[in-house]
Amino acid sequence: MPSEKIPIALGADHAGYRLKERLRAYLKDKGYRVEDLGTYSEQSTDYPDVAAKVAEQIQTQKAKFGLLVCGTGIGMAIAANKMNGIRASACNDTLAALMSRSHNNANVLTLGSRMVDEPTARNILDVWLSVPFTGGRHQRRVRKIQNLEKH
């Protein structure tokens, strides 16, 4: 699928603002359609609010994928995973990115601006966006995760 056809919802808190801005430009240069949902400065922001905005874009199918950036990627992942249908994965390396997509069908990538530099973040993002979900036995497990949302 050509990158310009894939809508990506993007968000960050104040700690992730600078990296988000660089990754937004990087994705646009690669032809992705990016919806930037904030934050728009380094002024203190509550990451759960931004995570919810990005997750809602996926829930309503306005975006296929989400990218969230905070200091560690952990808070954003926790917050996003509270939303039905979201499988957010904090990835600090390309192996985690590969596995989160191929085995877990993650639809939100979270990155930590204090954990990875920009070139590493780009590599993680490239892998994450290029790897398809393998299905098979992993589909059964993802379905079980989805069933947990009903409880």
Sign of CA dihedral 19, 25, 30, 31: positive
Contact between residue 75 and residue 47 where contact means Cβ atoms under 8 Å apart:
yes
Catalytic residue IDs? 70, 103
* pLDDT number for residue 4: 58
Q: How many residues does the chain have?
A: 151
Place of tokens 């905005």: 53
How many of the other CB atoms lie within 10 Å of CB of 69? 31
* pLDDT number for residue 1: 45
Delineate the domains of the chain, giving CATH numbers in brackets.
3-148 (3.40.1400.10)
* pLDDT number for residue 149: 87
* pLDDT number for residue 150: 83
pTM reported for the whole predicted model: 0.95
Q: Tell me, what amino acid is at 149? A: E
Question: For the chain, what is the radius of gyration of the CA atoms?
Answer: 14
Contact between residue 70 and residue 16 where contact means Cβ atoms under 8 Å apart:
yes
Each of the 151 residues of the chain gets a pLDDT tens digit; together they read 446 578 999 999 999 999 999 999 999 999 999 999 999 999 999 999 999 999 999 999 999 999 999 999 999 999 999 999 999 999 999 999 999 999 999 999 999 999 999 999 999 999 999 999 998 889 999 999 898 988 7
Q: Residue 57, exposed/middle/buried by CB under 10 A (0-12, 13-18, 19+)?
A: buried
In angstroms, the CA 16 to CA 69 distance is 5
Q: For residue 85, which of 131, 129, 148, 135 has the smallest C-alpha distance? A: 148
